[in-house]
Amino acid sequence: MKTNIPARNNVRAAEMGARSAATSKWMSWLARFGYAIKGVVYLIIGALAIQIAIGSSHAPADQQGALQTIYGQPFGKTILLIVAIGLFAFALWSFIQAIFDTEGYGKDAKGIISRLGYAATGIGYTGVGIGAYHLATGTGGAGKSLTATARDGTATLLQHSYGVAVVVIIGLIVIGIAVFLLIKAYQGKFRRHLNLTTVSFRLRNFLVGLGRFGYAAMGIVYGIIGIFLVLAALQHNPGKAKGLDTAFLELARQPFGTFLLAIVALGFIAYGVYSFVEARYRRVGRG
């Protein structure tokens, strides 16, 4: 059986060329810009959650709420366009991480799941970027809140015979993500993605601590979202489904809820700051 060696070499050369472009210096800077913009969004989400905790605001504490907050500032439309570019940049980098396995997860089951996670992240931030663009250009709104999206999606699925099972599975996946984030916070292995050789030992521990605090806070909120998705399916009640914004509100309703919400909100702010750390110190491409 003859093999087409020139064709195979051409494919390999094309793959190497694509990988080289995807991890080039310019892509490295674009990715870092994306991490920084992601940090801005999470800082605003955390600030909105703090305001909910102290009762001074009822604005939705999610990505759409963050975009609306930016829009309401002086030069908000211009800033939103910059934010949209950053969100698209982060989405693009997430797709590159998924396709080219820049983090070295490999092709086993665990590696494929991790890479699919990056792809899902890319899809999510593409959606938020589109919302930012539409709001900035006046061609639409920032998009539905995460709660409205979750409830609409749940309602649609529950209309089908397989809907309960699918929503339960989605809820369990979200709970799995929450557990993963909590484990990530506890183990702190994400530090391997940072190049902190130029900073002091004390500052290094502080920066990693920010990441741990942020991942733990997100794990708690994702856990709430996953639990209510499962309840929405089992009770056949789409109104039970919650997004990020109402997950904060649900936390506030618990015993010592104001305190708990304030701590989690600070965790989101910590994650926002940690995103700036990633923008500066993360190992990205060849940059």
At residue 11, the pLDDT reads 45
Mean pLDDT computed over 119-136: 94
DSSP symbols for 104-128: ---SSHHHHHHHHHHHHHHHHHHHH
Look at residue 145 and tell me whether its pLDDT is greater than 80. Answer: no
Confidence of residue 61 (pLDDT cuts 50, 70, 90): confident
At residue 108, the pLDDT reads 87
Domain ranges of the chain: 63-144, 146-287
Rounded CA gap, 218 and 177, in Å? 10
For residue 282, list its beta bridge partners: 194
Look at residue 26 and tell me whether its pLDDT is greater than 50. Answer: yes
Look at residue 287 and tell me whether its pLDDT is greater than 50. Answer: no
Rounded CA gap, 196 and 185, in Å? 18
pLDDT: which is higher, 2 or 237 = 237
* Half-sphere exposure in the Cβ direction for 119 (13 Å, CA): 10
- Check if the beta carbon of residue 182 is closer than 8 Å to that of residue 215: yes
pLDDT: which is higher, 234 or 101 = 234
Task: Identify the CA nearest to 112 among candidates 90, 97, 124, 127.
Answer: 97
Dump pLDDT digits (tens) for 157-166. 999 999 999 9
Coil, strand or helix at 192: helix
pTM for the whole structure:
0.88
Coil, strand or helix at 254: coil
Beta carbons within 8 Å of 149's beta carbon, 6+ residues apart: 143, 243
AA identity, residue 220: I
At residue 221, the pLDDT reads 95
Confidence of residue 49 (pLDDT cuts 50, 70, 90): very high
Rounded CA gap, 87 and 102, in Å? 19
At residue 229, the pLDDT reads 95
Alpha helices in the chain (DSSP H): 5-22, 25-53, 63-71, 76-100, 109-137, 146-158, 163-187, 201-234, 244-252, 257-281
Dump pLDDT digits (tens) for 214-237. 999 999 999 999 999 999 999 999
- Check if the beta carbon of residue 117 is closer than 8 Å to that of residue 162: no
How is residue 194 annotated by DSSP?
A: B
Q: How large a percentage of the chain has pLDDT more than 70?
A: 90
Look at residue 60 and tell me whether its pLDDT is greater than 90. Answer: no
Q: At what angle do helices 63-71 and 76-100 cross, to 10 degrees?
A: 150
Mean pLDDT computed over 26-36: 94
At residue 25, the pLDDT reads 85
For residue 163, give both structure tokens: 């809907």
Q: How much is the mean pLDDT over the chain?
A: 89
User: Range with the lowest mean pLDDT among 6-20, 63-77, 89-103, 128-142?
Assistant: 6-20
Write b or e for each residue in 84-112: b if 16 or more Cβ atoms lie within 10 A of its Cβ, otherwise e: bbbbbbbbbbbbbbbeebbeebeeeeeee
At residue 245, the pLDDT reads 85
